[in-house]
Structure 1
Amino acid sequence: MKVPYLETRVGYRLSDVLENPDPMKLRNFVPFVLHVHDDVLLGVQFNVFKCGGVALGVCLSHKVADGSTFIMFKKVWATICRGDKNVVGPEFVSAKLFPPENRMMESYNPMTEITTADEFAMKRFVFGPRAIEALRTKYAAGSDPDKYHQPTRVEMLSAFIWSQFATSTQVYARPGGAHYFMVHAVNLRTKFETPLPNSFGNIISMAVTLLVPCIGDSCHDLLPKKREAITRIDRGYVERLRAGDNLQSSFLRQALEMYVKGEIIPLKFSSVCRFPIYEADFGWGEPAWAAMPAMPLKNMVVFMDTKSLDGGVEAYISLKKEDMALFERDEELQAYVSPPSTA
C-alpha cells in the first residue's frame, strides 16, 4: 500500500488560518481530498507555517474507515508519538461482524457523489451554545407537547439546516418533482450488546427520513420523524443485519437508482460530535483547532464540536455553488450563526 507523505512550507502565519477559517483553503494542507485509486488509502501532509506553527493534514480513505475509525487512528498515532506505552490499539473485527456485501451497490457508481471543484462550495457555519438553546426553545414552542422530546444538537441542527436549505433554494418548487430525504450516518458500535468502541472499519448504517414539502416553521415535524428513523437502528436492527436480513437493501438500491437519475434531492448528515478529536496530542499539546477541508460532495453536512467544547457545533456544509449562494444569505440562518473565527 502506498502512503503519500508530504512536507510543505506555508508562506503565512498559522493565525491567518485560525482567524479566517475557510474549508476551501484547507484543501491546500492535505495530500488529497477524495482519492479514488485502490492503492492509496492513507496520506499525510506536514505543513510548517511562517511563524513556526504546524498543521498535520491526514486523509484516510472511506473505503476502509469511517469517522470513528479516523479519529481513533489519529489518537493512537499521537499516543505512540508521545511515548505513552498505554496504547489501546484498534480491533480488526468488522469483516467478521459484517461480511462484505456488494449486491446493494451493483447499480451505484460512487463517482456520481463527486462534483468538480468549480461546481461546489463548502462553508463552515458555527452555532454557539446560546444559538442552540434558542433553536431548542423555538422547536419546543412549535411542537405538540405530548410528542415533543428534547432533541440532541445534531437532530435539531439537521432539521433546521434542511428547513433553511429548502426555504432558501426553493427545492420544492423545482420543475419535474422529486422525492426529498434526510440521510444520517449512524455509528453501529454502540448498538451491540457489548459496545465496540475500538473497532476499525466502516461500522455504520444510514437512517433515512422521507420528507414532505415544508418551509420555515412548518418543518417542526422533521424532528420526530428524524428521531424515529435514527432510533429504529438499535440492537435488534444490528442483530438482524448480522443474521443476513438487510432491511434496507431493497429500499437503498431503489433510492440509489433514483438518485442517479436525479429523482431524489437528499441532504446527507454525518457527525463526529462527542468524539475525542482534541485528544490527539502528538507531544505539542492539544490542537489549536481541528477542522475538515472542503470535499467536492453533493449536499453534505458534517458536524463537529467547537474547540471550546462548550456545547457549540461547527457545521461544514457542501452544496452546489448556486445553492450555497442562496443558503448562506438566508436571514434566519444568519440570525443563529456565530462569527467565523475559531477563537
Structure 2
Amino acid sequence: MEISITSRETIKPSLPTSAECKTQKLCLFDVFQLNTYFPLILFYSKTTNLQGFSDVSTQLKKSLSEALTIFYPLGGRRCDYFSIDCNDEGAIYMEASVNTNMEVFLKPPKLELLNKLLPCEPNKCHPHQEVLPQLLVQVNIFQCGGIAIGLCNLHILLDAYSCSAFLKTWFAICKGSKEEISWPDFFSASSSFPPRNTIGVRAGMLNINKDLNIEEICSTRRFLFDYKAINELKSMSTTSDETKPTRYQVVSSFISKHMIVSIKEEYCDKTRPMVALHVVDMRKRMGEPFSKGAIGNLLWPALVVLEDVNKNTDIIDLVKIVKEGVEQLTKELFKKIENDPNFLWSDECAELMLEGIAANKPISLVFTSWANMGFKEMDFGGGKPLWLAQRGGTKESIPNTVILMETREGIEAWITMKETHLTILEHDVDFLRFALLNPSILI
C-alpha cells in the first residue's frame, strides 16, 4: 500500500488575532508537558452527504481557517518556556492519496501503516527550545472515497479534552452547524495555576516523570474489550454489597496486572516496585474556577503503588487498590488546592506525589482515558467516524503507556511497550480471554 502526499500548505486564521490576545500564557501543567505531538486519526466512509473530494477539501480548509480564529493559540508558536506567541503563522495542512480501499485497510487495521496517515512523527520528544507548529493535519483520501483525517496536536497547550473541543468547533463550522461550536476558555488554567520556577509540584512532577522521559524502541498494539468482556470484568470485581466499578477501573486494573506480568518476565529482580499513573482530568474533579471550555493540560497524575502483583492476583483486589488510590489522592489533593492554591508549590505537595515510590526506581505504567469526550461523535458533514486510531509501528517512544478509547463495540486499549513485553502480552491466554487483538472494523 502506498500513501502519497499530494499537497501541503499553511492554513492561517481567517481574521488576525487582536493585540490583547497576542500572548497566550501557559499554565503550570502545560510547562511540564513534553514537547511532543499526540496523534489522532478519524476514519470516515464515503457517504452521499458529501460532494466530490475537491469540494470537501475546500470546505475543510475554509472551516479550519475560521476555527483557528476562535482557537487562535493553535495558529501561533511557542516563544518562551511560559507562553505562546499568537502570531497567526497558522496550522500545517496536508492531503494524501491512498492506493487502496478503506475496507482493505481496516480488515483488520494495518497498524504498522497508521503513522503514514499522520502529518508528522507522533510521540517523538523534541527539545523544549525547538519552535514547532501547534497543529498539523493530514487528510487522506482512499480509492473508495473514504477519508481518514490525521491530526498531530502539540501537547504543550492541548490535552485530549482540549483537542476534542477544537475538533467540535472545526467540524461544526465545516457542516454549517455553528450552534455546536465549543467556545474555548484560554484564561482559567493560566490564571488559576500560573507557572513558577519553584519547588513543590515541580519537584514532584519531575521525579515522577524522570524515568518516563526515557525513550526506548517500542511498538503499539490495539486490544478491544467488548461490552460482554467489560461486564464480566465488572462482575468479577464486585461483591454483592458494593456498587459496580466503572469501565475504566476494571479495564485499567486488568491491563495493569497483565502488563506487570509480561514486564517482570524479563527482569531478574521480581521485587522491583511497580506504580500506575492514572491521568486525571482536573476539570471534572475541581469544577470552579474551570469552565466547561477550559483549554490546557488540566491533568493530574494520580499515583497508585501496585505491590506484589503477579499472575495469581485477583482482579477484585486490583480494582479496589486503583479505585481507592485514585479517589483518596485526588480528593485529598484537590481539597488542599481549593483551600490554599499555594499548596502546589509546597514541599508537602511534592511529598504527597512521591509517597511510596522514593526508593528502588519503580517501573511506571501510565493510563489515560479518552472516553466520554465526544470523539466518536465528530461529524464534519459526512456522518460519524467509523473508527478512531492512535499510532502504530515500531518507534522510539516512552514505554508502558496505555490510552483507552471509546468505540461502538466497547473500549479499545492502545498499549505501547517494548516489543519483547508486547509479545508476551499478546500470547497471554488469560489476557486474551477478555481482550481481542486488533479485530477488523465493521464498515
TM-score, normalised to structure 1, is 0.86
Of 119, 139, 145 in structure 2, the residue corresponding to residue 31 of structure 1 is 119
2:99 partner letter: G
Deviations 1:274-314 (A, max 9, x none): 221122211121112121114722100110111x2x5x100
Q: Are 2:327 and 1:231 aligned?
A: yes
2:183 match: 89
1:6 partner letter: M
1:113 match: 213
Deviations 1:161-205 (A, max 9, x none): 111122234359633842210110011111234463211100111
**Which residues in structure 2 correspond to 1:1-343 (within 5 Å)?**
1=77, 3-32=91-120, 33-34=122-123, 36=126, 37-86=130-179, 87-92=181-186, 93-102=188-197, 103=199, 104-105=201-202, 113=213, 115-116=215-216, 119-140=217-238, 148-170=242-264, 174-175=268-269, 177-194=271-288, 196-219=291-314, 220-232=316-328, 237-241=333-337, 243-246=341-344, 248-250=349-351, 252=353, 263-294=361-392, 296-306=397-407, 308=408, 312-338=410-436, 340-343=439-442
Alpha-carbon distance between aligned partners in 1 of 2:210 and 2:263, rounded to the nearest angstrom: 25
- How far 1:110 sits from its partner (Å)? 7.3
- Tell whether the 8 Å contact from 1:267 to 1:299 is kept in structure 2 after alignment: yes
| Of 172-181 and 93-102, the range deviating more from structure 2 | 172-181
| Of 267-276 and 229-238, the range deviating more from structure 2 | 229-238
Alpha-carbon distance between aligned partners in 1 of 2:97 and 2:247, rounded to the nearest angstrom: 38
2:386 partner letter: A
Deviations 1:299-335 (A, max 9, x none): 00110111x2x5x100000000110011110001111
Alpha-carbon distance between aligned partners in 2 of 1:221 and 1:256, rounded to the nearest angstrom: 20
Alpha-carbon distance between aligned partners in 1 of 2:373 and 2:352, rounded to the nearest angstrom: 30
Higher strand share: 2
Tell me the number of residue pairs that the alignment of Structure 1 and Structure 2 aligns.
Answer: 331
Helix, strand or coil for the counterpart of 2:250? helix
Helix, strand or coil for the counterpart of 2:237? helix
- Tell whether the 8 Å contact from 2:119 to 2:136 is kept in structure 1 after alignment: yes
- Structure 1's 88 and 159: CA in aligned 2 closer, same or farther, altered over 3 A? closer
- Tell whether the 8 Å contact from 2:260 to 2:274 is kept in structure 1 after alignment: no
- Tell whether the 8 Å contact from 1:172 to 1:213 is kept in structure 2 after alignment: no
- Tell whether the 8 Å contact from 1:185 to 1:269 is kept in structure 2 after alignment: yes
- How far 1:270 sits from its partner (Å)? 0.3
- Structure 1's 252 and 192: CA in aligned 2 closer, same or farther, altered over 3 A? closer
Alpha-carbon distance between aligned partners in 2 of 1:305 and 1:111, rounded to the nearest angstrom: 29
- Tell whether the 8 Å contact from 1:185 to 1:270 is kept in structure 2 after alignment: yes
**Structure 1: unaligned runs, 5 residues or longer:** none
Q: CA RMSD in A?
A: 2.7
Identity %: 25
